[in-house]
């Protein structure tokens, strides 16, 4: 039973870390990135 409890705790930690990463990615996608936008604009101009 003790091993199962520690495994469950590890699973909770991994899931929490994954949720934090997803949340960080979503927040960074929502925030404006002028450098990336300029890069995309330059690529659009270069490509026919």
16 vs 43: which has the higher pLDDT: 16
Give CA–CA dist 41/48, Å, rounded: 12
> What's residue 34's pLDDT?
65
Question: In this predicted model, what pLDDT tens digit does every residue of 5-30 receive, in sequence order?
Answer: 888 899 999 999 999 999 888 877 76
> What's residue 1's pLDDT?
61
33 vs 6: which has the higher pLDDT: 6
Tell me the pLDDT band of 48, cut-offs 50, 70 and 90: low
Give CA–CA dist 15/9, Å, rounded: 10
Give CA–CA dist 43/32, Å, rounded: 18
């Amino acid at each position: 039973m003790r091993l199962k409890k520690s495994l469950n705790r590890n699973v909770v930690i991994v899931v929490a870390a994954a949720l934090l990463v997803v949340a960080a990615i979503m927040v960074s996608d929502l925030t404006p990135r002028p450098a990336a936008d300029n890069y995309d604009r330059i690529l659009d101009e270069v490509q026919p």
